[in-house]
Amino acid sequence: MSKLEFLVSEFQRLYGARPEHIARAPGRVNLIGEHTDYNDGFVMPIAIDREVLIAARPRHDRLVCITATDIAGSPHDEFSLDAIKPHPQYRWANYVRGVADQLQQARSVLRGMDAVIASTLPTGAGLSSSAALEVCTATILQAFGEPRFDGVTLAQLCQRAENDFVGVKSGIMDQYAAALGQADKALIVDCRALTYQAVSLPRGVTVVVADTRKKRQLVGSDYNTRRAECQDAVALLSQLLDKPFQALRDVSLSDFNGVAAQLPENLGKRARHVLTENERVEQAARAAQRDDAVEFGRLMNESQTSLREDYAASSPELEMMVALARQQTGCLGSRLTGAGWGGATVNLVREANVPSFIQALAQQYQSRTGIAPWVSPVRASPGATLVK
């Protein structure tokens, strides 16, 4: 039984009828450009063929009743659209509640609904299951409400839900990819201008995701600390260079190098990662446009070094997964994807070597850690839609 068939079956079991609409929103893998989004920089994600699905039917009252089938015990949440407050126990429910709250603040007229959630995304892997849930929630709520916002607006509303309601100060990349992804293409996103360019990936290679099964939790983690460090670095660089910088994106690498020794060590390292990572995104975009998979992979490897040494965002499990991947025939590049401190790696692998790469990486990682990883090829896929 497919996940979609399972979702419909569960909906019928719970509500005694078929759903009226089903929405889907993909997870994402960021190929390069980590921790640059909230610094107004550049990122290069792809939406992937793993997704969150929500089946729903409208209600005649203002109550939202929703069950999460992929969480132990299939927890159920109910809340009124007229009194949206954080759930005291279920974090997943706050993503749903936060999106409904933001849509209504944007003057969307919503209806209550009965709904069931299912997912083909591993949670905690850094594949942005939270943004997929947000964007999928917005898509299904809009199916029963009005007006319907465009993808950019929807991504911004979902980001605000995560920032203000859930309490994770995420950048725009995850929601942008979930809402606006394109089949077989990466998005080069300017996170300040909120503009993007779609670019085809180099031919003859496949993106493979390897989940370490080391879960990560963004609320209360080092993620918010890194954001604060970047803001502190901007303030100090503005003083040292006598320029009113808005974000690290505004600082040139040459200017930074001239005063880096005057920064506290941690702030200097964080800033250096962001500045060099922005350059790597632009270089990777040019490599993709000229179909240079080898150069693209080299830049991914450089990114991982910077994330480990300057941003301190890696973990022992991630380092092991990366090292093992690079030992496999056909692997051109490997790095962590998502915020880090656990989660998954993204690997660029020659198509002919993908089956042996997946088998060897999974076996070798498990033999060293005792943990069975999730290793799978992914394809760049379209953003959120209603399922016909």
**Tens of pLDDT, residues 222-271:** 888 999 999 999 999 999 999 999 999 999 999 999 999 999 999 999 99
Q: How big is the CA angle at 310 (ends 305 and 311), to the nearest 5 degrees?
A: 100
Residue 118 forms part of a structural domain = yes
Please say if the pLDDT value at position 119 is more than 80.
yes
Residue 279 forms part of a structural domain = no
Residue 329 forms part of a structural domain = no
- The whole-number average pLDDT for the span 338-362 is 95
197 vs 320: CA distance, rounded Å: 33
With bands split at pLDDT 50, 70 and 90, how would you rate the model's confidence at 215? confident
Please say if the pLDDT value at position 218 is more than 70.
no
367 vs 172: CA distance, rounded Å: 37
- pLDDT score, position 210: 97
Active-site position among 174, 190, 211, 222: 174
With bands split at pLDDT 50, 70 and 90, how would you rate the model's confidence at 219? very low
Percent of the chain with pLDDT over 70: 98
- pLDDT score, position 217: 55
List all residues 6 or more positions away from 366 whose beta carbon is below 8 Å from its beta carbon: 372, 373
- The whole-number average pLDDT for the span 71-79 is 92
The secondary structure of 188-199 as a DSSP string is EEETTTTEEEEE
Does 174 participate in catalysis according to the annotation?
yes
Residue 267 forms part of a structural domain = no
Tell which residue, 217, 133, 136, 218, has the closest CA to residue 171: 218
Q: What share of the chain is helix, strand, coil (3-state, %, to 5)?
A: 45, 25, 30
Residue 283 forms part of a structural domain = no
What range does the domain containing 50 cover?
3-200+382-386
201 vs 207: CA distance, rounded Å: 10
Give all strands of the β-sheet with 331-337 in edge-to-edge order: 331-337, 344-350, 205-211, 374-378
**Tens of pLDDT, residues 307-316:** 999 999 999 9
Residue 111 forms part of a structural domain = yes
With bands split at pLDDT 50, 70 and 90, how would you rate the model's confidence at 216? low
Please answer whether residues 159 and 175 qualify as being in contact, where contact means their C-beta atoms are separated by less than 8 angstroms: yes
The residue behind tokens 């040139």 is 252
Give the pair of three-digit tokens for residue 143: 């199916």
List all residues 6 or more positions away from 255 whose beta carbon is below 8 Å from its beta carbon: 237, 241, 243
Give the pair of three-digit tokens for residue 198: 């779609």
Alpha-carbon distance values, 236 to 220, 231, 256, 262 (Å): 25, 9, 11, 9
Q: CB 207: neighbour CB atoms within 10 A? A: 21
Residue 259 forms part of a structural domain = no
- The whole-number average pLDDT for the span 318-340 is 96
280 vs 136: CA distance, rounded Å: 31
**Tens of pLDDT, residues 270-293:** 999 999 999 999 999 999 999 999
With bands split at pLDDT 50, 70 and 90, how would you rate the model's confidence at 363? very high
322 vs 179: CA distance, rounded Å: 29
Tell which residue, 53, 52, 55, has the closest CA to residue 19: 55
DSSP one-letter code for 122: P
177 vs 186: CA distance, rounded Å: 9
Burial of residue 242, with CB atoms counted within 10 A of its CB: 0-12 exposed, 13-18 middle, 19 or more buried: exposed
- The whole-number average pLDDT for the span 45-49 is 97
- pLDDT score, position 171: 80
If one counts the domains in the chain, the total is 1
Please say if the pLDDT value at position 122 is more than 90.
no
- pLDDT score, position 72: 85
DSSP one-letter code for 248: G
User: Helices 151-160 and 129-143 meet at what angle, rounded to 10?
Assistant: 120
34 vs 365: CA distance, rounded Å: 24
Q: How far apart are the first and last CA of the chain?
A: 18
- CATH number for the domain that contains residue 80: 3.30.230.10
Q: How big is the CA angle at 100 (ends 99 and 101), to the nearest 5 degrees?
A: 90
20 vs 31: CA distance, rounded Å: 36
Q: Which backbone phi and psi does 78 adopt, to 5 degrees? A: -135, 135
- pLDDT score, position 376: 96
- The whole-number average pLDDT for the span 138-149 is 94
**Tens of pLDDT, residues 163-197:** 999 988 788 899 999 999 999 999 999 999 989 89
Please answer whether residues 36 and 281 qualify as being in contact, where contact means their C-beta atoms are separated by less than 8 angstroms: yes
Mean pLDDT, the chain, as a whole number? 95
Residue 101 forms part of a structural domain = yes
